[in-house]
Amino acid sequence: MSAARGERGALLARLHIARKQLRLDDDTYRDVLERVAGQRSSTALDVRQIGNVLDEMRRLGWKSDGYTLSRRPNIRMIYGIWKDMRPMISDGSRGALRAFCRRMTGSDAVEFLDDRDANIVIEGLKAWRTRLLNKEASSS
């Protein structure tokens, strides 16, 4: 199995966990999928669409840590740095992280960044975090 399919599978598992925790019946769940992603089945969703549906599930009250557990260390590092930065930035949402990745690499699917793009995002986040910490230190 490819790493991409494994990551997608992990996101789909989170989607089904969210559905169960929100106690959505089948029709309601499929209505959410269709409203958010234009599909009535999770098997038809791409990674971006799954992320959008997970964001909607959070809006509906699903409580998660907001981070995907990846087997890839550089992806875990991206999420770890982002988690550290969340209290220092105005929007620490998963969508904001995807937007940052899109600006840095052209791809908003964090889980599918190749090693080169993941390192670009890591270095960008580290530089941003350093600027935030310096700003915080100079204002105190």
Does 61 score more than 80 pLDDT?
A: yes
Task: Give per-residue pLDDT as tens, 37-57.
Answer: 999 999 999 888 988 898 899
Task: Give per-residue pLDDT as tens, 83-116.
Answer: 888 888 888 888 899 999 999 999 888 888 899 9
Q: Which of 59, 53, 48 is CA-nearest to residue 106? A: 48
Structural tokens at position 2? 């490819």
Does 3 score more than 60 pLDDT?
A: no
| pLDDT greater at residue 127 or residue 62 | 127
Q: Has this prediction a pTM greater than 0.85? A: no
High-pLDDT (> 70) share of the chain, %: 89
Angle formed at CA 35 by CA 29 and CA 38, multiple of 5 degrees: 100
Does 136 score more than 90 pLDDT?
A: no
Distance CA 54, CA 98 (A): 13
Residue 32's contacts (CB-CB under 8 Å, 6 or more residues apart) are: 24, 53, 56, 57, 60
Query: Cα-flanking dihedrals φ and ψ of residue 94, to 5°?
Result: -65, -35
Q: What is the pLDDT of residue 84?
A: 85
Does 34 score more than 60 pLDDT?
A: yes
Does 80 score more than 70 pLDDT?
A: yes
Over residues 6-18, mean pLDDT: 80
